[in-house]
Amino acid sequence: MSAPASAFEVGLAALATAGVDFVLVGVGGINFYARDPAHAIATLDVDVLLAPRVANLRAALHTLSRSGFRFESGGEPFLDIDDDSALAIIIDRAATLCAQHPSAAQLDLMVAITGFSYAELASDAIRFEVAGSTVPVGRLAKLLRSKELSGRPKDLAFLRSFEAQAEEDEGE
């Protein structure tokens, strides 16, 4: 008997099935390239880059809401999922919405990422299967480059660690 699907799987499969335009990025996206769980990097959430359009953001929020997710923006509950003007502000400000599930699964819904537009990431994304649905994941070099361009110390430390670990894995 297989284990019940996690809220991560349910949420991402629901987005794919609903036709929401998105691509996975960040460490959660980078983990899709790992050989197995032993080679994955610990993280607490999955970054979902949405095509920055009001209708697409609204569709994502409705889809995840039906899967049991609730939303936060800047630490406050975000309830305006039907308010197009509020959604337009999210896009204009390139704000991130946190989609949280009671199981503690968290999807960070982003409409912008450092260094690449949505179109640039989506155009050559690799499509993997998740819980029977097809999920696009940004190309590994672009995800790493985005971290480099962010210039944040934690991202630069991540890159050094990733490179060292990957080269060690290649030697196995």
The contact set with another protein (CB under 8 A) reads 3, 5-9, 12, 28, 31-37, 40, 42-44, 46, 103-105, 126-131, 134-135, 137, 139-141, 144-145, 148, 159, 163, 166-167, 170
| Closer by beta carbon to another protein, 84 or else 124 | 124
What's the CA gap between 40 and 162, in Å, rounded?
A: 10
Taking the complex as a whole, the smallest distance from the CB of residue 146 to another protein amounts, in Å, to 10
| Closer by beta carbon to another protein, 91 or else 166 | 166
**Under a CB-based contact definition with an 8 Å cutoff, are residues 74 and 13 in contact?**
no
| Closer by beta carbon to another protein, 97 or else 125 | 125
Using left for φ > 0, alpha for ψ between -120 and 50, and beta otherwise, residue 34 falls in beta
| Closer by beta carbon to another protein, 112 or else 162 | 162
Taking the complex as a whole, the smallest distance from the CB of residue 77 to another protein amounts, in Å, to 21
| Closer by beta carbon to another protein, 72 or else 115 | 115
Instruction: Provide CB contacts within 8 A for 47, sequence distance 6+.
Output: 24, 25, 26, 27, 28, 29, 107, 108, 110, 113
| Alpha helices by DSSP H, the chain | 7-17, 26-30, 54-66, 84-92, 118-123, 140-150, 153-170
Taking the complex as a whole, the smallest distance from the CB of residue 112 to another protein amounts, in Å, to 20
Taking the complex as a whole, the smallest distance from the CB of residue 63 to another protein amounts, in Å, to 16
Taking the complex as a whole, the smallest distance from the CB of residue 29 to another protein amounts, in Å, to 9
Token representation of residue 19 = 């036709």
